[in-house]
């Protein structure tokens, strides 16, 4: 009966959600700083309802933007009149959304165990939370579920703890899904959880890691936003908190941390996709992690996983000042990217946030690094824009597999280089 109810809910959601018929994703090529500034002018025009998937950064870094059908002509004329070149990455976004929904409905069934769970499909919040319970039930001596807080709308925020014993041992933190529309990250997080339990006692390296450190994994870091992407708006990025004095909802939870908060690379406009929030740690989803990290006091690596663009990044994003451990972090990133590409040949770039993509203030790993967590990294998973946030489900397992190799590189280094 529960399976039928969930299936009915999926069908209902498919017919009640926001549509993107005729929306295109444009890739804009900016050759100089003047072109970057011109594109920023578009960003400041709310009537166009543009959704920057990869926002303006430095010159020579392409900008990806979703343009509603009603704004297409105006945007294209603006770009052409300013001699700014662009191409069409996605011709009709709704067609990709429809394909994704069809796949989810076709593949949907209620698993009774972690062995029958479909790791090659996207899942709802309830399904992922059910998976966590199944995983804990099947591996009670290795996995436990911790509630670290509640979201703005009252949903529990869960973290899986993988441990072989002890309290507040040195630990590694992994999170996925802080930006809710980045579905490949939550799907990869589910796969990572199963990989950890499957590998312990079989893979000597992972076994050694867990014999010496705990692993915390937060699969759905932004539960309200994630639920909203399934019921109403697949492209929702932010939290779902109400902003006083504004009709616009939500805060960018990766601009809400107390690290250069309010500086360049975040918006003060509540309607912006990069709205920083009224003050640092205003979002319950962010505050829950902040409180946990401070209370734990012994986290040695912090890895936050996003999509897309195929990048491995380290601090800083809010300042051009190099991190004190810049060279060590760069060496780790280089090794991790090499491990990742060894499986399927997927190419990643790596470097500090501000030099590799753009300036961004109030970011997660800048805060964790400033808290003394030396091994702080952010991944941007597949792809480079062909599908963007709508990566086909048949790429979930390959993405997770290759990313796991990079994660193992970072975790092994953390184990072997204590501080």
Please state, in angstroms and rounded to a whole number, the distance separating the CA atoms of residues 267 and 361.
9
pLDDT in tens, the chain (419 residues): 445 445 545 554 555 689 999 999 999 999 898 999 999 999 889 999 999 999 887 777 899 999 999 999 999 999 999 999 999 999 999 999 999 999 998 877 777 899 999 999 999 999 999 999 999 999 999 999 999 999 999 999 999 999 999 888 999 999 999 999 999 999 999 999 999 999 999 999 999 999 999 999 999 999 999 999 999 999 999 999 999 999 999 999 999 999 999 999 999 999 999 999 999 999 999 999 999 999 999 999 999 999 999 999 999 999 999 999 999 999 999 999 999 999 999 999 999 999 999 999 999 999 999 999 999 999 999 999 999 999 999 999 999 999 999 999 999 999 999 99
- Determine whether 380 is an active site residue: yes
Q: Residue 212: which H helix or E strand, with range?
A: helix 204-212
Give the residue among 23, 25, 55 at the shortest CA–CA distance from 252. Answer: 55
List b or e across 196-228, with b for residues whose CB sees 16 or more CB atoms inside 10 angstroms: bbebbeeeeebeebbeebbbbbbbbbbbbbbbb
Residue 3: the pLDDT is 52
Contacts of 235 by beta carbon, 8 Å cutoff, 6+ apart: 18, 20, 51, 66, 181, 229, 389
Strand segments, DSSP code E, in 258-374 are 299-307, 311-314, 349-352
Strand runs labelled E in 278-357: 299-307, 311-314, 349-352
Which of 43, 127, 380, 402 is the catalytic position?
380
> What element of type H or E holds 284?
helix 284-296
pLDDT of residue 1: 45
Three-state helix/strand/coil letters over 346-364: CCCEEEEHHHHCCCCCCCH
Q: Starting at the edge strand that comes first in sequence, how are the strands of the sheet with 311-314 ordered?
A: 143-150, 156-162, 214-218, 171-176, 299-307, 375-381, 311-314, 349-352
pLDDT of residue 107: 78
Angle at 318 between CA 312 and CA 322, to 5 degrees: 70
Distance, in Å, from the CA atom of 151 to the CA atom of 222, rounded to the nearest integer, reads 8
- CA distance linking residue 203 with residue 196, whole number of Å: 10
DSSP state of 71: G
User: Does the pTM of the predicted model rise above 0.85?
Assistant: yes
Q: What DSSP character marks residue 46?
A: G
Q: Which of 161, 131, 157 is nearest to 145 (CA)?
A: 161
CA distance 180 to 45: 24
């Amino acid at each position: 009966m529960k399976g039928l109810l969930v299936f009915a809910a999926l069908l209902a959601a498919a017919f009640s959600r926001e549509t993107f018929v005729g929306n295109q994703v444009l890739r804009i090529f900016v050759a100089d700083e003047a072109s970057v500034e011109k594109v920023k002018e578009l960003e400041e025009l709310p009537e166009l309802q543009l959704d920057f998937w990869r926002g303006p950064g430095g010159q020579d870094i392409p900008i990806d933007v979703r343009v509603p059908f009603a704004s297409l002509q105006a945007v294209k004329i603006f770009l052409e009149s300013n001699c700014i070149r662009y191409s069409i990455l996605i011709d009709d976004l709704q067609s990709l959304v429809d394909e994704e929904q069809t796949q989810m409905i076709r593949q949907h069934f209620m698993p009774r165990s972690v062995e029958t769970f479909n790791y090659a499909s996207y899942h709802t919040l309830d399904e992922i939370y059910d998976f966590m319970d199944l995983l804990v039930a099947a591996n009670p001596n290795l996995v436990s579920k911790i509630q670290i807080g509640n979201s703005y709308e009252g949903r529990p925020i869960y973290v899986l703890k993988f441990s072989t014993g002890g309290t507040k041992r040195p630990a590694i933190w992994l999170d996925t899904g802080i930006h809710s529309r980045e579905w490949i990250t939550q799907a990869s997080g589910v796969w990572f959880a199963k990989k950890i339990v499957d590998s312990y006692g079989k893979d000597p390296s992972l076994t050694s890691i867990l014999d010496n450190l705990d692993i915390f994994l937060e699969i759905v870091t932004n539960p309200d936003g994630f639920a909203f992407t399934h019921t109403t708006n697949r492209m929702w990025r932010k939290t779902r908190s109400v902003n006083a004095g504004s009709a616009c909802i939500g805060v960018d939870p990766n601009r809400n941390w107390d690290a250069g908060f309010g500086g360049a690379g975040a918006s003060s406009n509540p309607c912006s996709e990069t709205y920083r929030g009224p003050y640092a740690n205003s979002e319950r989803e962010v505050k829950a992690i902040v409180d946990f990290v401070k209370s734990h006091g012994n986290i040695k690596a912090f890895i936050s996983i996003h999509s897309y663009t195929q990048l491995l990044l380290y601090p800083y994003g809010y300042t051009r000042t190099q991190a004190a451990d810049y060279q060590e972090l760069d060496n780790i990133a280089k090794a991790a990217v090499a491990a990742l590409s060894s499986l399927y040949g997927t190419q990643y770039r790596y470097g500090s946030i501000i030099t590799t993509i753009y300036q961004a203030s109030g970011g997660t790993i800048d805060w964790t690094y400033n808290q003394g967590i030396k091994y702080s990294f952010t991944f941007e998973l597949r792809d480079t824009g062909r599908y963007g946030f709508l990566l086909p489900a048949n790429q979930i397992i390959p993405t997770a597999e290759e990313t796991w190799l990079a994660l193992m590189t970072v975790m092994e280094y953390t184990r072997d280089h204590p501080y």
